[in-house]
Amino acid sequence: MDGIPLLEFDEDRNALIEPNGIYKAGKLPEHCVMPMYGRLIENLVKEGKAEKIFQLSSSGASLLAINVYQVDFEGKKVTVVFPGLGAPFCSAMFEELIALGCRKFVACGSGGVLKPELKRGAIVIPHTAVRDEGTSYHYLPPSRLVEMETDTVIRLEEVLKKHHINYEIGKTWTTDAFYRETKGKIARRKMEGCLMVEMECASFLAVARFRGVKFGQYLGAGDDVSGDAWDPRHVDNSLPFQQKIFWLSVEAVLNL
């Protein structure tokens, strides 16, 4: 497949614009949770549980100013930021948080299910992601899959087991185009064992490996795309569920 730009991986670790040339490390706590729920963070601020500590407004990623918050959990400080949606923007935000000193990350959000037995609100740890997006190919050589570190998977499991929460570990399908989740592609992803579909995991894992930081993720089971017709299942993005998976993520990131 010569001539496809996406497959032209460049091993040069120095880009023309580097995030650490924009931001200096040490400004943020090393532990960071990235919830894919803007309303959740608004509620944390309203309840006085999250304090604004910084604002991302660089020329690199943030065309809009993104607020960075901090929560306290059992006497420890954790950075909290909504990283946006989709691999390109989320990865740029991830880069800037790393440049600011964060080193251990857990993302949490919801995705579509390819396994209908996953009930609404079930939690999946995506140990492997199918790289059907573009961003990860700028961080790692071309390959079909990218994996989460085994120790990170174990640490995420420990928190769920502690709270007696049922979960599954499996593969996720990361795509840039949710309006192009065709029946043929869905069938192929199901055949290779994907449990979920979302838009960020592969790129998060690739950036984490490239930059040498810890990254884990919890995915909540949302709509069902496994059948002949889309079933929105009244996606469980209610605030109580968001709060549940968020505080599990806070505990998990401190366990990394």
What is the residue whose two structure tokens read 């009930």? 119
Q: Is 145 within a domain?
A: yes
Q: Is 13 within a domain?
A: no
Structure tokens at 232: 């929105």
Q: Is 94 within a domain?
A: yes
**Cα of 121 vs its chain's centroid, Å:** 17
Closest CA to 204 of 153, 128, 142: 128
Closest CA to 86 of 173, 198, 4: 198
Closest CA to 71 of 25, 24, 37, 33: 33
Q: Is 98 within a domain?
A: yes
Per the structure, the complete domain to which residue 211 belongs is given by 22-253
Please report, for the domain that includes residue 177, its CATH number.
3.40.50.1580
Structure tokens at 33: 């949770």
Q: Is 16 within a domain?
A: no
Q: Is 66 within a domain?
A: yes
Q: For the residues of 186-225, what is the DSSP string, one character each? A: HHHHHHTTEEEEESSHHHHHHHHHHHT-EEEEEEEEEEE-
Q: Is residue 160 within 8 Å of 117, Cβ to Cβ?
A: no
Within 8 A by CB and 6+ apart from 97, the residues are: 28, 32, 34, 68, 79, 81, 83, 105
Q: Is 7 within a domain?
A: no
Which one-letter DSSP state was computed for residue 231? B
Q: Is 14 within a domain?
A: no
Encode the chain (256 residues) as per-residue pLDDT tens digits. 568 999 999 999 999 999 998 888 888 999 999 999 988 999 999 999 999 999 987 545 556 788 999 999 999 999 999 998 999 999 999 999 999 999 999 999 999 999 999 988 899 999 999 999 999 999 999 999 999 999 999 999 999 999 999 999 999 999 999 999 999 999 999 999 999 999 999 999 999 999 999 999 999 999 999 999 999 986 555 788 999 999 999 999 999 9
Number of structural domains found in the chain? 1
Within 8 A by CB and 6+ apart from 191, the residues are: none
Q: CA torsion angle for 194, 161, 34, 153 (degrees, to 10)?
A: -50
Predicted TM-score (pTM) of the model is 0.95
Burial of residue 165 (CB within 10 Å: 0-12, 13-18, 19+) is middle
Q: For the residues of 122-177, what is the DSSP string, one character each? A: -EEEEEEEEEESSGGGGTS-S-SEEE--HHHHHHHHHHHHHTT--EEEEEEEEES-
